[in-house]
Chain A
Amino acid sequence: MEILNTIFSEATNKALVNVVYILASVLFIIGLKMLGSPETARKGNLVSAMGMLIAVVVTLLDQSIIDYKWIVVGLVLGSLVGVIAAMKVKMTAMPEMVAIFNGFGGIASLLVGSSEYLLSAQHNIGILIPIFLTVVIGGLTFTGSLIAYGKLSGTITGNPVIYKGQQWINGILMVALLFLGIEMIVLQGLLITVDWQILVAAVALSFLLGVLIVIPIGGADMPVVIALLNSYSGLAACAAGFVILNNVLIVAGALVGASGLILTNIMCKAMNRSLANVLFSGFGSVISVGSSSTEQGEVRPINVADAYLILEAASSVVIVPGYGMAVAQAQHAVRELGELLEENGSEVQYAIHPVAGRMPGHMNVLLAEANVSYDQLMEPDDINPTIETTDVCLVIGANDVVNPAAREDPQSPIYGMPIINVDKAKTTFVLKRSMAPGFAGIENPLFFKPNTRMLFGDAKDSITALVSEFKT
């Protein structure tokens, strides 16, 4: 016992723990790297999970921990909820699932920061600043994610909530938070008093800010918000790392923060808009002015039987899914149609716009769930160069991402956004319930092009009808 104590003196213990933290960080990095390719992604996720496991285990062995009872309770309950949620969730509910998990990460960091704040009046400024940042970022990540969850699951309206003076209120709130931060740092840093009221106020204001930041954002802009909240959950963990001076929190948090920011940037580029524009404009509420509604021609509807004849003769088909496919739950029917087309001798590809759906990669997940081979899932840049030679484009529940106004109409609010050029294909079928405009509230000239045929009705019903035409 005596020997053990000398070998595992506190200093060696600390060093050992930190070496394991470095190892965990390396596993996170390798894991993230492996997540970058479909062949290795699943293993990469496991590698990253291993990193997490060893980090948790070595932390539990920390000799300064004296009460394990409640830790075990938290770990068991949390695992239970996590396992059930992860196993039960439907793939169509993935966006809100990702949103809520982001929120949980945020609130956990907020609680860690608060716990450390209340612990001691002896904190110096180097700790107080990260405590404040942890609370603010964690807090707004939490409520922002809850609102995103509500919008995505349909519990609250997916439309942007806009009111007069919105920016002003958000601005005032941020200034108030800044003052609170200064007060917290001055009070405790100089006067050495813990003021829990300041903490409560900071938590309340950041909760409010999270709500106010996300409510004005419309459903079609959700991919940006989800990616941004993802980044924030990482940054909150990173700030918590500075609170407890822990290297693995900082490395892991920064990796997540950076990856979320890159995704956010990719999403913004895919819409040709700045992050500020997404966050503050309340896109979709503004009715577009001066869009060239004069030159719209005639809408040409088509029925299933005629659509079948054209598809049957097509040698190449590109399927363009959008959020409507998710709403109609049509992904399995789409896959079946795709397979029938292939059996019939057509080359079938899926063209997926980065912002199609409600989160980054939404359509890919749904189609993968429906068993579509991932090498058929293409990005716009892979499809557009050869789209002129494509016989049929099948647009299923997508609207703004195939709107040629983005290319042709400088007055259009989405002008400059990279789109899938389905209007250049030989024939394009648009599956749509009615002529209502897309989420952004913009008219789509695609519907009036001479080579466009509208197949009206529920996407799933239409596809199923096409499938049965092929089978008979």
Chain B
Amino acid sequence: MKRGLLSAGVVAAAFVALSGIAWLVTGNGADQSGAAAATGARRVIYMSAVEYKGGTDAEPFPAATAPAGGGYIIKPPDANGRWETSTYRWEPGVVVANQGDEVELWIWGVNGAQHPSTIEGYVPEFTVTRGNLTVLKFTADKAGTFRITCHAHPPSMEALLYVIP
């Protein structure tokens, strides 16, 4: 019965092979792209320190005062009745890394002279200045959301670093 055995073997092998192919085709196999995959990947993230500005002479000056701290600015009406407001922000306000990534945050200062800052859980102290690049390097070894805070422009100049587990 050698032939029978051989046939059975071939059929069994075919089962396994077909299952494997189907498994791969359905995307359950290792089909993640290089960008998504393994931990330890270098990930450069670009940010900038910005101030969004607006103003008008056609709306009444707000009665409420802005929260203190430097992050929100209200300038009273000038001789022509135009008043202005602005807010300091990190841009983008949310950045994402995978846990284990070797992160490089490249932060360019556009508005504001000085931004003395911290990244909760990751970077105890750094300062971004206008016209200069600040590069922060760290391993994103903790999953979660972490605040990127400028202490010269609270409360608004705060972004979220989201580390995906």
Chains A and B come from one and the same complex: no
